[in-house]
Amino acid sequence: MSAPLPFRLMGVVNVTPDSFSDGGLFLRPDAAVAHGQKLADEGAAIIDVGGESTRPGALPVIAEEERLRVVPVVERLVRAGCPAQISVDTSKVSVAEPALTAGATFVNDVTAFRAEPELAGLVADRRADCALMHMLGEPRTMQDAPRYENVVDEVRAFLEERLEFAVREGIAEERILLDPGIGFGKTVEHNLELLRHLDRLCTLGRPLLVGTSRKSFLGRLATRDGRRPPPPPEGRLPGTIATCVLALERGAQVFRVHDVGPVHDALAVAGATLTARWARTTTRIQTS
């Protein structure tokens, strides 16, 4: 019997017209549900359904529109018996509540309960899991010359404070994941510094969720020699895999990705290597 894998994948289902990598592809519920099922079949342990883009410069979506995008997809995934845990990617109580009623058991809040603090109480009451993410500012302004004295120390302090808040609001600590927010109010250098020092964030004692998938800094890193244009989002899989493998080595446990199958395979190999799961075969050398 094989040992469990040392990671979980969160597959992305964007029910939006304007997400940076796949906006509009899964706006129809049929398409979103089919995509969620496909990601689960490829190895996603969590399916994250979101109805509001959080790309840099994204405009806000009113709660009713977000609810109409998200809740039917959650309902149908649950009804279809999707084997993955269903997550709702929202910071709004009026979206999270019907999604949880429809069968979601995870709330992924990019504001870490700052936008609507009462969302923490809802998560506690429903005994749901949650992810709390660091973001400098909000999507429309977060990439306007972000600055830190020490990005690792500041992100760690923020996550520690939000973890304490969530626990005070009644959420069991074992239900909380922490996300450093790669690409959310960070420069390329900030992102790299956080990835180098994820082990320092692991000392907070909660699983780290890392989301580098298809992000623009990967394209910029791949073309710093200037000899070719940056790849489009769907061309950033090599960078996604590289950063996920490095993050796994530094202690991250959950990975939010668009390309579940290839990342799953890469992390399975990396995880087996890092944990010495494969039996070693030695060859005896006969001497006369």
pLDDT tops 90 at residue 47:
yes
List, for residues 146-158, the tens digit of each pLDDT value: 889 999 999 999 9
Domain count, the chain: 1
50 and 89 Cβ atoms separated by less than 8 Å: yes
Across all residues in the chain, what is the average pLDDT? 89
Residue 244 domain flag: no
List, for residues 117-133, the tens digit of each pLDDT value: 999 999 999 999 999 99
Residue 179 domain flag: yes
List, for residues 84-130, the tens digit of each pLDDT value: 999 999 999 999 999 999 999 999 999 999 999 999 999 999 999 99
Q: What is the predicted pLDDT for the residue at 75?
A: 97
pLDDT tops 50 at residue 282:
no
Residue 24 domain flag: yes
List, for residues 179-207, the tens digit of each pLDDT value: 999 999 999 999 999 999 999 999 999 99
Residue type at position 282: T
Q: What is the predicted pLDDT for the residue at 285?
A: 36
The residue ranges of DSSP E strands in the chain, in sequence order, are: 8-14, 46-50, 85-89, 106-109, 129-133, 176-179, 209-210, 254-257
Residue 264 domain flag: no
Q: Which residue has the higher pLDDT, 218 or 5?
A: 218
Residue 2 domain flag: no
Residue 256 has phi, psi (to 5 degrees) of -95, 115
Quick one: average pLDDT of 3-10?
A: 85
Q: Which residues are catalytic?
A: 215, 256
pLDDT tops 60 at residue 284:
no
DSSP H helices in the chain: 29-41, 63-79, 93-101, 118-126, 151-168, 188-196, 198-202, 216-222, 237-249, 260-274
Q: What is the predicted pLDDT for the residue at 274?
A: 87
- Containing structural domain, residue 101: 8-211+252-258
Q: What is the predicted pLDDT for the residue at 276?
A: 62
Q: Give the angle subtended at the CA of 117 by the CAs of 99 and 114, to the nearest 5°.
A: 105
| Cα 138 → chain centroid | 17
Residue 274 domain flag: no
Residue 197 domain flag: yes
Tell me the DSSP string of 88-111.
EE-S-HHHHHHHHHTT--EEEETT
CATH of the domain at 156: 3.20.20.20
Residue 231 domain flag: no
Q: Quick one: tokens of 78?
A: 């649950």
